[in-house]
Chains A and B, each alone.
Chain A
Amino acid sequence: MFGKGLIKGLEITWGWFWRKKVTVEYPDEKLVMSPRFHGRFELDQEKCIACGLCANACPNKVIQIEKAKLGKKQILIKYVMRIEYCLFCGLCVEACNKDALSFSSVIDMNQYYRGKVRLTMVDRPAPTPEEIAAAEAEEAAKAAAAQAAAAKAKAKGEEG
C-alpha cells in the first residue's frame, strides 16, 4: 500500500526517541577505559633503575633522563617526557624491564600553554658530593666487611 514506508519510518524514529541516549556527559561522567588503554604515563620511582631503555626505545626521543651515580647505584634525577611529541605507541612501556613505566587511564593531558604539556615525572636535586662520598664510603665499608667475612670463611675452610 502507498504510504506504508512513510509510517514505518515514523515508527522507527518514534522508537529511537524513547531509547536510552548514548551521550556521555564528559566532565560529569567518564567512560571506563579498558586496561590496555594508552593514557598518561606513570612511573614507579621505587622500581626504576634509571637504565635508560625506555629512552632508547622511543622513536621520537620523547623521554629525557638525567641520572647520577651514588656509589655503585644509579639513581634517577630527572625524568621528563615531552608529551607534545609522544605518539603513545607504548614501546617505552614494553621496553621497561622492571615494570616501572606504565600507562594509566587518565586522558585529560591538555594544557592551555604548550610549555606545560611536558610531563615531569621525577625532578629532584642531584646528590651532593658529600652524599656521594658518604655512599662510596658506606659501600667501601660494606665491601671491606664482606671481604673480611670471606677471608674468615676461607680461613675456616682451610682449618677444617
Chain B
Amino acid sequence: MGENILTGIAAGLRGLLDGAGVPVLWNDVILMVVKVVVILLFITVNILWLVYMERRVCAFIQCRLGPNRVGPKGLLQSFADMGKLLSKEFTWNRYWDKVVYFLSPVLIFVPPFMIYAIVPFGDNMAAVNMNIGLFYFAAVSSLGSIILWSGGWASNNKYSLIGAMRVVAQMVSYELPLMLALLGVVMLTGTLNMSEIVNAQHGVWFIFTQPLAFLIYFTAGLAETNRTPFCLVEGESEIIAGPYTEYSGMGYSMFMLAEYASVMLISAMCTVAFLGGWLAPFGLTFIPSWIWFFLKMYVMIFVFMWVRWTYPRLRVDQLMGFGWKVLIPLCLANIFVTGVGMYIYRAIGW
C-alpha cells in the first residue's frame, strides 16, 4: 500500500510538469532539486532526532531518564539546543587562519550529503542510481578527514592539532579495512551498484555469508565516525575535543551534527551491504520497503550507541595496532576465503 507512496509522488510531479509543458531538461532539473531538498530535510530531521536518541539511550543505559522536559517526552530538546547554539556569540581570535577556520564547519556536511544521494532508501528509491555506488562512497567519505584536519590546523592550537593528526591517522588507517570488508560483498555480487547489491540478497543476507566482513565493517565504521571506543580524536579527557577545541556555538554543533550524519551513513551502508537493504525478511512484504530500510538502519544506529556507552576508549597505539595488524590481515583473509569459496561453489555447480 505505502510501497509506492514516495516513488508515486515523484512520478506524479514529473507528470504534472510534463502536462504543464515544461521542457524535459527543466523537468529533470526540478525533480532533482526536489529530491535533494527532500534528502536534506530528511537528514536534518534525522540528525536532530539522533542527538536526542543518543542522549536517551545513554541515559537509559546509565539508569537515568535523560532529557524529558522540553516538549512531549523531551522531543524538542535538540531544537532548544540548536537555538541556544545559534544565539551564541561569534568570537574572533587573531591566531586563527580565518578562512579555513570558518570554512571547515560548513564543508564538513558536504561528504555525507553527497553520499546520501546514492543511498537506495527503498525499492527504486535512490536519488541517483549510480553504477559505481560503492566506489563513490569510498571516494567521497574519505574527504571528511581533510575537512576535520583543516579545522584543527586552522585553529592554531596544540590540542586541535593533535586531534586533527589523530583524525587523519585513524581515518586513513580504518578506511582500508572498511573498504576491504565491502570488497567481499562486491566479489559475491560482482557489481558496485547499491541497488543491485541489495537485489542480490533476495535469498540470504550477506551478514550470514560474510559474517567476518560484517564485524570488520562495523568496527571500522565505529573508527571512521570517531565514536567510542575509537573516539581518540575527541578524547575529552586528554585533548579537549581535539579539532573542535577552538570551535563554539554553531561551528562546534556543525561538527557534532556531522558526526551523526556519518553514523547514519555508515549504518545505511551497512544495511545496504549486509542486512539486505530494503528487502523484507520472512516474506513480510506488506510493510513498505523504505520502512524496512529505516528499521534496519535504526537497529544499526542503536547498536552503534549501545557500543558507545559500553566500552572505554582505546589508546592510540592500540588503535593503530588493531587497525593495521588485526583488521587488515583479517580482511585479506576474508577476501581470500571468499574467492576460494566462490571457485569451489562454482566447481560444485551451485
Contacts and interface: CB of A to CB of B under 8 A. Distances in A.
B306 A22 contact: no
B64 A16 contact: no
B60 A17 contact: yes
Interface stretch (B78-86, B293-301, B307-315): B307-315
B62 interface: yes
A10 B310 contact: yes
B205 to A, nearest CB: 21
Contacts, number: 33
A6 interface: yes
Contacts of B310: 9-10, 12-13
Contact of A21 (B57, B65, B307, B311): B65
Nearest to B64: A23
Nearest to A9: B310
A7 B175 CA distance: 25
Interface string A3-39: 0001001101110110101110100000000000000
Interface residues of A, number: 13
Interface string B62-80: 1111001000000000000
Contact of B64 (A9, A13, A22): A22
Contacts of B68: 25
Contacts of A25: 65, 68
Interface string A28-53: 00000000000000000000000000
Contact of B306 (A10, A19, A21, A23): A10
A21 B63 contact: yes
B61 interface: yes
B311 A9 contact: yes
Contacts of A23: 63-65
Nearest to B68: A25
A7 B134 CA distance: 30
A108 B77 CA distance: 27
A14 B307 CA distance: 10
Nearest to A24: B65
Interface string A112-145: 0000000000000000000000000000000000
Contacts of B64: 21-23
B62 A16 contact: yes
A157 to B, nearest CB: 81
A12 B307 CA distance: 11
Contact of B57 (A10, A12, A17, A19): A17
A16 B61 contact: yes
Given A16-B60, A17-B60, A23-B63, 7 more contacts: A9-B311, A16-B61, A19-B63, A21-B63, A21-B64, A22-B63, A25-B65
